[in-house]
Structure 1
Amino acid sequence: MMAAMPDALTPASADDLVAALAFALRFQGRKRVHNADEIMAEIVARRLAEHLSRAGFVVMKRPSEVGAAALGRGFEG
């Protein structure tokens, strides 16, 4: 059974959301974590992707345009 929700709920501000996400990225539980930038980017991407998946979001991708793969590999035709 789910607990009753308080009547005085209001939308979180963007600043509140940023502060909560920044805290989650700096701490694991109550322990401060220190990582290099590359590692941090991987951690952030993974956490955000996992959260979006749990929240029911679906990210769609368009098919690449004709020749886009070759251009991405440096083709200068």
Structure 2
Amino acid sequence: MDARDDLIPASTSDVAEVLMHALCYDGRRRTHDAAELMARLVSERLVAYLERSGFVVMRAPTSNAPDSSRHPHPHPHRR
């Protein structure tokens, strides 16, 4: 199975949030050259532009937290 087989479309709010984080942080370290408000405005404008240009951003589905319990989950599809 190819890693791209389970991709799902990313929501515009997810894309804007990731772009905002990229503008405000360098890895885990906060950058002080970009204010949060400016980062939010820029990320929202970039997302709007990408949508108008026909881009579709895909992302991998979120994975659940690892389970260290030896007991089976009552709903197998939620593992």
**TM-score calculated relative to the size of structure 1:** 0.38
Structure with higher Rg: it is 1
| Greater RCO, 1 or 2 (C-alpha within 8 Å, sep 6+) | 2
**TM-score calculated relative to the size of structure 2:** 0.38
